[in-house]
Amino acid sequence: MTQEAIKILLVDDEVQFVDTLAERLSMRGFTADIAYNGTSALEKVANTQPDVIVLDLRMPGMDGFAVLKAVKQRNPQVQVIILTGHGGDQEAVIAGRYGAYSFLRKPTDIDALLDSIRMAYRDKVENAFVAASFAQAGDIDSAREVMAEKDLLQG
């Protein structure tokens, strides 16, 4: 898997933070799109179908939990990593229930974030591969279950 192959969407209302993070990811060979609020994030998910979303929780208007729920309802295969300055263990548990892949607190090390992004992407690819195998064998129900497996396990 090449780094460029992972489509990342960064969602955060802290413009300076998210712009600089995108710049640093770019220097490591990743391309990251940016959304500065929840509504814009959902539009970008519909239009560009990212592999991994790095999502802030507390934002003006639509907050991160609302975005997470909407993404998991519409595109369960998209992996969501929460990266936030808000909240503690309780928020982490809720995020897990809603289907978040992992929960990171700001300020996080870029290598820790990249590890999480790579693992989330690998999980997504593996899920898609297994689902495709079921689908090829004509077992559509199992294929659907695999695609939503993470949500079922975490919900």
Partner 1 sequence: MTEKHCIQSLLASSTHDMRNVLAVIRESTGLVQDMLRFGADVPNKERLLQALEEVQKQISKGALLTNSVDCLTKSTAEHGAGRCDGVRVAQAFCSMIARHAKAAHICCIATTAEQAVWFEHDALTVLQSLMSVFEQCTRAQAALCLEIRAARHEGTIGFYLTAEGEAAALEALASASGIQSAPPPWPAKLLPWREQGKQRFWLALKAYSA
Question: Under the rule (CB under 8 A), what is the footprint of partner 1?
Answer: 13-14, 16-17, 20-21, 23-24, 27-28, 58-61, 63, 85-86, 105-110
Who contacts 33 (Cβ-Cβ below 8 Å, separation ≥6)?
7, 8, 9, 10, 44, 48, 50
Residue type, 8: I
Least distance from partner 1 to the Cβ atom of residue 89, Å: 14
Least distance from partner 1 to the Cβ atom of residue 37, Å: 11
Q: Are 21 and 68 a contacting pair, CB within 8 Å?
A: no
Least distance from partner 1 to the Cβ atom of residue 56, Å: 9
Task: Please identify, using beta-carbon distances, which residue of 74 and 106 lies nearer to partner 1.
Answer: 106
Task: Please identify, using beta-carbon distances, which residue of 115 and 126 lies nearer to partner 1.
Answer: 115
58: exposed, middle or buried (C-beta count within 10 Å: 0-12, 13-18, 19+)? middle
Task: Please identify, using beta-carbon distances, which residue of 9 and 147 lies nearer to partner 1.
Answer: 9
How many whole angstroms separate alpha carbon 140 and alpha carbon 155?
Answer: 22
Task: Please identify, using beta-carbon distances, which residue of 77 and 84 lies nearer to partner 1.
Answer: 84
